[in-house]
Amino acid sequence: MRVIRRQWWAWAVVVLVVAVAVAPLVDTWLTNPDDQRLVDLDVYRTGGQMLLDGRPVYDYVTPAPQLLPFTYPPIAAMLAVVLAWMSWETAQWVWTAGIFVALAVTVWLSFRQVLERESLRRYVPWAFALLMVLCTYLMPIRDQVRFGQVDILLVALCLADCVARRPWWPRGFLVGLATAVKLTPGVFLIYLLVTRQWRTFFMASFAAAVLTLLPFAVIPQDAADFWFSALLDPERLGANAATTNQSIRGMLIRLYLPQEWLTLLVWAVIVAVVGWFGFRGAREAYKAGDTLTAVALVGLMAVLLSPVAWIHHLAWVVVVLAAIVGDGRDPVRLRVAAGVWLFYVVPVPWWGVSLISLKIPGVSVVLGKIVQNGFGLGALALVWLLVSWLPKRRRIA
């Protein structure tokens, strides 16, 4: 904070530089046709509007051509009432600004080892600006802006809860809040258990439980509709076999296994193996004092183990990149991070779709499906990299 106060003029310039750099992305997605603009934000906002109108939250869909239902827990609809009070135009700008604020928090906390190096103190604002721009153009972050998604906010909440040095909130509360809003951050409860952070675990569980039970007192019918109906229908989330679903289950579904039970069985086995490997790695990283790597691994678990994980759920790649970079002194780690960054900047899965459409015998389908699953397979590779390669590289360096 002393650096920020001392260089306030530089930080003002940084805000301007970042704004100019991301302007083309923002302009693209906030000026496209209204029925294609920030479609997930429209879902959140309409969910809040249903509560204000006294109508069932889980019965509506957004207008054609999207026809998207509200898929989040009822506490999310209650929070979305704030968005419903705004005009659609105001909500778009407020939400987009919030995405970049959450990204800024994530970048600062993730790359803190680099930004706090004594030798780089004079250049901290410019290094931060560069990191912000580089992370903005990662495809999972671009999709945050494109769809008006909430994922980067959830990343910032969980990351801050786990790595903040002296939090002014009860540690665990933000994980509980994120879990209540979108369920998948619940993997952090497993992490807190295996690392025996008991006080944080109990606070996170308490916060999640209170925020989950609260809607039963305020909007009981909507709460029942979600937990006993909407939650049990995975197709509400969209076509599970779509290219953008890069979870383990999504990748298996696209293999077209002959029986559904076989897909379920194979998925359960792989999830068990990946979960064991990932959470064990997170525990070892935590014990070694590398909390950032532990958080990055748990974030990857949230993507891979979930039945449905769209590309924008991979916003965790920002934290993964920072874990690889470390303090920025190892050139090998920097080169690996650059490769990972480039991989998640380009639309790899859609190249796979193009390959499949070429219908080249013996090549298109096999190679195309591998490339189509590229981001999910990349996430699996990143789990191995953080668990096995990174500790060895740290010892060598």
Residue-wise pLDDT for 363-377, tens only, equals 777 888 999 999 999
Cα 274 to Cα 187: distance, rounded to the nearest angstrom: 13
Concatenating the DSSP letter of every residue in 333-365 gives HHHHHHHHHHHTTS-HHHHHHHHHHH--TTTHH
How many residues in the chain?
A: 397
A 10 A CB-CB count for 241 gives 14
Q: What is the mean pLDDT of residues 229-239?
A: 77
Concatenating the DSSP letter of every residue in 203-271 gives HHHHHHHHHHHHHHHHSHHHHHHHHHTGGG-GGGGS-TTSTTB-SHHHHHHTTT-S-HHHHHHHHHHHH
Lowest mean pLDDT among 269-273, 276-280, 352-356: 352-356
Residue type for position 305: L
Chain centre to alpha carbon of residue 280: 21
Cα 295 to Cα 317: distance, rounded to the nearest angstrom: 11
C-alpha separations of 115 from 120, 128, 130 in Å: 7, 7, 11
pLDDT value for 144: 97
Cα 93 to Cα 116: distance, rounded to the nearest angstrom: 32
The answer to whether residues 184 and 249 touch, using CB atoms and an 8 Å cutoff, is no
pLDDT value for 268: 93
**Which pair of tokens denotes residue 98?**
């919030």
**pLDDT 10s digits, 85-144:** 999 999 999 999 999 999 999 999 999 999 988 887 788 999 999 999 999 999 999 999
pLDDT value for 364: 73
**pLDDT 10s digits, 311-332:** 999 999 999 999 999 999 999 9
Which single residue is written with the structure tokens 């008006």?
148
Q: Above 70 in pLDDT, residue 191?
A: yes
State phi, psi for 325 to the nearest 5 degrees.
-65, -40
pLDDT value for 358: 86
pLDDT value for 132: 97
**pLDDT 10s digits, 22-66:** 999 999 999 988 878 899 999 999 999 999 999 999 998 887 777
Q: What is the mean pLDDT of residues 287-292?
A: 96
A 10 A CB-CB count for 36 gives 12
Adjacent-strand bridge partners of 61: 69
pLDDT value for 330: 94
Which of 43, 22, 33, 161 has its CA nearest to residue 96?
22
Cα 221 to Cα 230: distance, rounded to the nearest angstrom: 12
Q: Above 60 in pLDDT, residue 1?
A: no
Q: Above 90 in pLDDT, residue 219?
A: yes
pLDDT value for 80: 96
The answer to whether residues 114 and 120 touch, using CB atoms and an 8 Å cutoff, is yes
pLDDT value for 258: 61
**pLDDT 10s digits, 192-204:** 999 999 999 999 9
A 10 A CB-CB count for 331 gives 9
Cα 46 to Cα 306: distance, rounded to the nearest angstrom: 25
Cα 262 to Cα 257: distance, rounded to the nearest angstrom: 7
Q: Is 206 exposed, middle or buried (0-12, 13-18, 19+ CB in 10 A)?
A: middle
Cα 130 to Cα 42: distance, rounded to the nearest angstrom: 31
Residue type for position 369: K
Nearest 10 degrees: CA dihedral of 290, 295, 301, 307? Answer: 180
Cα 159 to Cα 292: distance, rounded to the nearest angstrom: 8
Give this prediction's pTM: 0.94
pLDDT band, residue 276 (cuts 50/70/90): very high
Q: What is the mean pLDDT of residues 270-289?
A: 97
A 10 A CB-CB count for 113 gives 15
Q: What is the mean pLDDT of residues 171-178?
A: 98
Highest mean pLDDT among 55-64, 349-358, 362-371, 384-393: 384-393
Q: Above 70 in pLDDT, residue 356?
A: yes
pLDDT value for 61: 85
Cα 350 to Cα 371: distance, rounded to the nearest angstrom: 8
pLDDT value for 6: 58
Which of 167, 179, 156 has its CA nearest to residue 107?
156
pLDDT value for 259: 62
Q: What percent of the chain has pLDDT over 90?
A: 78
